[in-house]
Structure 1
């Protein structure tokens, strides 16, 4: 089973004949993609963005093509997933997880195009008429309560009904008394600016010691948060349940896990109330559907992480439409330059904090090579443990 079998009858997409990668530079981060061609003349696309390792993900995708993809039928998604994961001896990790995820997206794109239906028709259909999204990345700039409040009001004015932000600056492990007060003052200013009806999510970026996280859940209680995200490092996953027992708001997390095997400890310890798999990291359509089903067994809901490009936003919409325990989808799309949407032509737009049902076959996206050529990758890096990281000045 772990080798390409060219003797089987082939499906309507034909066989995979070529795999290529592309990377687009932006002020936020470099976005990387895989494009899969078949001998039937179809192409499918998926996102393989890594915030810092664009070269590595592209190189691995191209290497995997020869080992596991060329000659395969795109409809054999389960076998191809296993072939890449088991056959390439992946044992977790971000680069391999991202490549498997992006290739899986491209396969669903190919299947949808071959059948003439949107990809979500192949992943459970639709449980809802549109997908609610929340804004992230809106708070770039000065880390002052008044500045956060102003930007929050402007974002809500665009139609968003939910916002996420990290008020903690470069905090790691512990916060000084001054930094603690400043962080809480930022949350208070945002809540006062947007009113009680807007849902607020606070990001911890998996970086606090237990006693600091416990102090923060007490300090944040008055602001009626929709969730507190990743307050503890995942090296201390067993303490998440203890923190949940102290918190009045839901605890969320899971973006750093790349498949059901890595998620196993999260589920076994009931670490969170809300899981946050990323369609471009957690195994693509094939794996995220399984994670959602396991989450449902644990009375958890799903709010996918998505700090990627509009391609991943669009693919995530297809993925969550048929997910009964879906809550809300993250998007950074409002932060991006206009040319990003030119590069990933056909990406679904955010309108009044929602994204409507897709109608085009597959994912409905084509990559425009000319735009990629005009905006090459910068391979920049921003260190979120350094002062001023929230300005996202990549160096």
Structure 2
């Protein structure tokens, strides 16, 4: 089972005959993709973006193709997932997790195209008519209350009724008195600017020691947050449950975990109220559905992390349509360069903070090679623990 068996009957997509990787440069970060070809003339795409290690991720994708994908039937998704994970001796980690995730997305794209149905029809259908999203990345600019408030109003003016932001600057471990006051003033200004009808989520970026996190859950209580995300480093996962007992708002997290084995401790410790698996990091459709089912047995909601391109946004929409305990989906699509949408033709649009039911077969996305050639990767790095990171200098 851990080798490609070309003697078995083949499904309507044929067999995988070629695997490519492509990377697109943008003003924010590079976006990377895998494109699978079959001998029946079909192509399937998936996102393999790594914020800092794009070259390494593409290299591993190409190597895994030789070992586990060429000659495989795209409909054998469970076996391919196992072959890539167990056969390649993956034991967690971001690069391997991203590769498996992007390939899995591309397999569902191929299956949908072969059957002539949208990918969500292969993952439980739909139990909702659209998908609610929240905006991230909208607060690029100076770190002061007035700047955040103005940008929050702009985001709401574009139709979003839910926003996420990190008000803490380069804080790590603890905050000085001045920085604590400044951070809280930013949250207060955003709440006042958008009013009580907009959901606000505060991002901690897994940066605080327990004493600071505990103080923050007290200080943030008046602002009626939808959740406080990753207030503690995951090296201290056992203290998450303790923090939850002190918090008036839900605690969210899980974007850094790449499969059910890494998530096991999060579930066992009841670390969060809302899990945030990323469809381009946590194993693709095949694995995220299992994580959602496990979350449901722990009375947890699912709000997928998505700091990637419109390809991951589109794949995530397909994944959550049939997920009963889905809450809301993250998107950065509103801050991206126009050429990104030219490069990933067919990505689902955000309209008034919602994304509607897809209709095209598979994911409905085609990569436009000419646009990739015009915008090569930059391999830039921005450090969110450096002063001024939130300006995301271009």
Q: Which range, TM-score by smaller chain?
A: over 0.9
Classify the secondary structure of the residue corresponding to 1:292. helix
TM-score by length of 1: 0.99
Residue 179 of structure 1 aligns with which residue?
A: 179
Residue 68 of structure 1 aligns with which residue?
A: 68
Cα-to-partner distance string for 1:76-110 (whole Å, 9 max, x where unaligned): 00000000000000000000000000000000000
Give the gaps of 5 or more residues in structure 2. none
Residue 210 of structure 1 aligns with which residue?
A: 210
Classify the secondary structure of the residue corresponding to 1:201. strand
Distance between the aligned counterparts of 1:4 and 1:293, measured in 2? 29
Do residues 351 (structure 1) and 357 (structure 2) align? no
Residue 118 of structure 1 aligns with which residue?
A: 118
Give the gaps of 5 or more residues in structure 1. none
Residue 259 of structure 1 aligns with which residue?
A: 259
Residue 48 of structure 2 aligns with which residue?
A: 48
Distance between the aligned counterparts of 2:189 and 2:145, measured in 1? 6
Distance between the aligned counterparts of 1:81 and 1:38, measured in 2? 18
Distance between the aligned counterparts of 2:339 and 2:359, measured in 1? 23
Do residues 5 (structure 1) and 5 (structure 2) align? yes
Distance between the aligned counterparts of 1:251 and 1:92, measured in 2? 24
Residue 31 of structure 2 aligns with which residue?
A: 31
- Residue 28 of structure 1: CA displacement? 1.1
Distance between the aligned counterparts of 1:345 and 1:240, measured in 2? 41
- Residue 383 of structure 1: CA displacement? 0.4
Distance between the aligned counterparts of 2:393 and 2:46, measured in 1? 27
Distance between the aligned counterparts of 2:59 and 2:98, measured in 1? 12
Residue 328 of structure 1 aligns with which residue?
A: 328
What does 1:274-289 correspond to in 2, within 5 Å?
A: 274-289=274-289
Do residues 318 (structure 1) and 288 (structure 2) align? no
Residue 199 of structure 1 aligns with which residue?
A: 199
Distance between the aligned counterparts of 2:124 and 2:330, measured in 1? 21
Distance between the aligned counterparts of 1:389 and 1:221, measured in 2? 26
Classify the secondary structure of the residue corresponding to 2:175. coil
- Residue 393 of structure 1: CA displacement? 2.0
TM-score by length of 2: 1.00
Distance between the aligned counterparts of 1:263 and 1:62, measured in 2? 27
Cα-to-partner distance string for 1:48-91 (whole Å, 9 max, x where unaligned): 00000000010000000010000000000000000000000000
Distance between the aligned counterparts of 2:338 and 2:236, measured in 1? 40
Classify the secondary structure of the residue corresponding to 1:133. strand
Report the count of equivalent residues: 394
Cα-to-partner distance string for 1:175-197 (whole Å, 9 max, x where unaligned): 00000000000000000000001
Distance between the aligned counterparts of 1:144 and 1:161, measured in 2? 22
Q: Which runs of 4+ in 1 moved over 4 A?
A: none
Distance between the aligned counterparts of 1:142 and 1:223, measured in 2? 22
- Residue 236 of structure 1: CA displacement? 0.1
Classify the secondary structure of the residue corresponding to 2:220. helix
Cα-to-partner distance string for 1:250-287 (whole Å, 9 max, x where unaligned): 00000000000000000000000000000000000000
Distance between the aligned counterparts of 1:26 and 1:124, measured in 2? 34
Distance between the aligned counterparts of 1:393 and 1:317, measured in 2? 30
Distance between the aligned counterparts of 1:144 and 1:94, measured in 2? 33
Distance between the aligned counterparts of 1:365 and 1:309, measured in 2? 12
Distance between the aligned counterparts of 2:391 and 2:52, measured in 1? 17
Cα-to-partner distance string for 1:144-176 (whole Å, 9 max, x where unaligned): 000000000010011101000000000000000
Distance between the aligned counterparts of 1:179 and 1:308, measured in 2? 29
Cα-to-partner distance string for 1:204-224 (whole Å, 9 max, x where unaligned): 000100000000000000000
- Residue 392 of structure 1: CA displacement? 1.1
Residue 79 of structure 2 aligns with which residue?
A: 79
Distance between the aligned counterparts of 1:131 and 1:218, measured in 2? 31
Distance between the aligned counterparts of 2:167 and 2:244, measured in 1? 20
Classify the secondary structure of the residue corresponding to 1:239. helix
RMSD: 0.4
Residue 57 of structure 2 aligns with which residue?
A: 57
